[in-house]
Amino acid sequence: MWLAWLIIAGIHGFEQKAIAQEDSLPAAKESTDLTSSPLFLSPSPVDQSLSESDEPMAQVTSVSQLKDVQPTDWAFPALQSLVERYGCIAGYPDNSYRGNRALTRYEFAAGVNACLDRVNELIATSTSDLVSREDLATLQKLQSEFANELAMLRGRIDSLEARTNDVAANQFSTTTKLSGLLIVGVQGRSSNRGDVNPRDGIKDTNDSGTNINLISLTQLSLTTQFTPRSYLFTSLLYGKGGTSPRFNNNDVTRDRVSRNDVLLGYEFPTNNVIINHLHYHWLVADNLAVMVGTEGVNMTNAFRGPNQVESAATGPLSLFAQRNPILNMGFGHGGLAVDWQFAKRASLQAVYSSYQPGNPGKGSGLFDGNTTTGVQLLLTPTDAVDLSLYYVNNYSSDGCLLTFVGDECLTAKSEPLQTNAVGATVTWQISPRITFGAWGGYTTSYIPGRSGNVETTNYMLFLNFPDLFAKGNLGGIYIGQPPKITNSNLTDGSNVPDSINTGLGRAGGQPGTTTQIEAFYRFQLTDNISITPGIIHILEPGNTPDSDPVTIGILRSTFIF
């Protein structure tokens, strides 16, 4: 009968798992209650049906794992034997055994059943020498004595398995997770004078926007999971504040040319709450994903980028340093995107988007007005190198590409513009602490039905330093040329460089070349909070060689949850 005493001494722990799980499993029915969704069963904090005191611990392999069992305890040899000979002992999550706790006949039957299964396993694996005839006789008596309880226990387990399978087959309970971020930035720039009106080599205008200002951006996001392979992403955005224009004038032609010369990545003054993401994601196959929606369907969100630190919240400070401006083109709102991983180290992304889908105004639907089609080939030839090649076709109804960086408005009279663009981005992880990257882009555009075209180029070289000085921190140095009109021979006074120079209708590009130098260092204070000081220095702002250089100081703070 010593085996019976072994089982009595070692029974606590097995019996709770099946019983507690059966009692906590939700009924198989549709429900909007998140606590009844299988996705929220233990260990989700939403589900409180299994308390910590009742949740079983995994199988123990040594009695020493149980903190409340001492070698002087009367049952210690029994527990030790069950662990070493039969391996059918479990405890609680806090590594306690709670041997003084009373148990019911059902709980005892659960323990007997566990040891029976283990004995059968030992016999089946030719280790029957560990099981004596006396043990088998004792087990047979216990099996007979607790036949009713064992049968009921097995019935409850079968019922539990059936209900679990039923829930898995019929459940349609969505789960929604809330996340968000808050960015607050303080920035100001140095005093400077510019060659503005006219651009004739003479500095004639003071920068009137050098005061220190405050910019904030708040975003709340909801991720609603419908199935393990599909979800809906929705986000609300509120932005306030912005950097003032460098020069103010009433000339419409000049206002179409960027007077800021640099926008910050988190600078998006909505002044009211807007929906900036509303798209549905579906994993059609293990290597094919689809996104469709009315807001936020664009290359920024649809393309995977080689630069892993790309983020207005935690990465570089300026909008130009986030990614190649070609990938901002069109600023699409609604449309369709696909992502196809056709090989282990190669994928293809494509997107079609419209700037104002569903707008009842003429030329502002999903298939007319401002539209953008983009394709990207992403390659990883080695573990350390990522390369992306992309092509973009854009139609702009007013001649502005909506990249918000550098020369983005390419006609002087708001004429419609058809644009083709190509570019490439490459990153090389030199070591775990140093990544080198570069990108370049070229666009050529024309006014439909008219002769002539306008060309732009841009490039960037950068270094990222992950975990610089401390784990989680990030340093970065970015040097590049924002989009610049290198040549334009558009007719009828549509040449932008000429319109802000002489206005005589001459062909040609910008007289100077803007160079942006950016350096930043992100202090990761906690998992959720970071502070990023940085500096941006601009040479020949506005592609104007006789304008003063501009220096911008920035302090960005970010809270993410």
Average pLDDT of the chain?
80
pLDDT digits (tens, 9 = 90+) for 374-431: 999 999 999 999 999 999 999 998 889 999 999 998 998 888 999 999 999 999 999 9
Mean pLDDT of 18-47: 29
HEC-encoded secondary structure of 269-307 = CCCCCEEEEEEEEEEEECCEEEEEEEECCCHHHHCCCCC
Mean pLDDT of 323-331: 94
pLDDT at 434: 96
pLDDT digits (tens, 9 = 90+) for 527-547: 999 999 999 999 999 899 999
Question: Which parts of 21-67 are beta strand (E)?
Answer: none
**DSSP for residue 258:** -
Tell which residue, 419, 256, 262, 413, has the closest CA to residue 329.
Answer: 419
CA dist list (Å): 250 to 210, 247, 256, 494: 20, 10, 11, 18
Within 125-266, where are the H helices?
133-145, 147-170, 252-255
Q: Quick one: tokens of 175?
A: 């789960």
CA dist list (Å): 491 to 153, 253, 506: 87, 15, 9
Q: Quick one: tokens of 253?
A: 């032609």
Please tell me whether residue 403 adopts helix, strand or coil conformation: coil
Count of H-run helices and E-run strands, the chain: 9, 18
Of residues 133 and 158, more confidence is placed in 158
pLDDT digits (tens, 9 = 90+) for 211-267: 899 999 999 999 999 988 999 999 999 999 988 888 765 444 444 444 567 899 999
Cβ pair 354, 366 in contact under 8 A? yes
pLDDT digits (tens, 9 = 90+) for 516-525: 999 999 999 9
Tell which residue, 388, 392, 395, 457, has the closest CA to residue 427.
Answer: 388
Cβ pair 23, 48 in contact under 8 A? no
Burial (CB < 10 A; 0-12, 13-18, 19+), residue 53, is exposed
CA–CA–CA angle 423, 235, 520 (5° rounding): 50
CA dist list (Å): 166 to 152, 169, 170: 21, 5, 6
What number of other Cβ atoms are within 10 A of residue 208's Cβ?
11
CA–CA–CA angle 272, 303, 267 (5° rounding): 30
pLDDT at 500: 80
> How many CA atoms lie within 13 Å of 521's alpha carbon, on the beta-carbon side?
6
pLDDT at 253: 44
Q: Point out which residues pair with 522 in neighbouring strands.
A: 474
Alpha carbon distance 167, 172 (integer Å)? 9
Of residues 332 and 126, more confidence is placed in 332
pLDDT above 50 for 12: no
**Rg (Cα) of the chain, in Å, rounded?**
33
Cβ pair 287, 342 in contact under 8 A? yes
pLDDT above 50 for 74: yes
Please tell me whether residue 422 adopts helix, strand or coil conformation: strand
Top mean pLDDT of 109-113, 115-119, 428-432 is at 428-432
Alpha carbon distance 233, 224 (integer Å)? 6
Mean pLDDT of 182-188: 96
Cβ pair 259, 247 in contact under 8 A? yes
What number of other Cβ atoms are within 10 A of residue 355's Cβ?
22
Tell which residue, 397, 423, 408, has the closest CA to residue 327.
Answer: 423
pLDDT at 433: 94
Burial (CB < 10 A; 0-12, 13-18, 19+), residue 479, is middle
pLDDT above 70 for 553: yes
> How many CA atoms lie within 13 Å of 545's alpha carbon, on the beta-carbon side?
8
Percentage of residues of the chain with pLDDT beyond 90 = 48
Mean pLDDT of 204-213: 88
* Tokens 């920024």, located at residue: 300
Percentage of residues of the chain with pLDDT beyond 70 = 73
Tell which residue, 59, 159, 154, has the closest CA to residue 109.
Answer: 154
Q: DSSP assignment of 77-93, as one string? A: HHHHHIIIII---B--T
Q: Point out which residues pair with 232 in neighbouring strands.
A: 224, 280
Peptide bond between residue 198 and the one before it cis (omega within 30 degrees of 0) = yes
Q: DSSP assignment of 471-503, as one string? A: TT-EEEEEEEEEEEEEEE--STT--HHHHTTT-
Q: Quick one: tokens of 430?
A: 């030199």
- Predicted TM-score (pTM) of this structure: 0.69
Q: Quick one: tokens of 349?
A: 């992304």
Lowest mean pLDDT segment, chosen from 114-118, 409-413, 488-492 = 114-118
> How would residue 172 be classed by pLDDT, with cut points 50, 70 and 90?
low
Cβ pair 406, 482 in contact under 8 A? yes
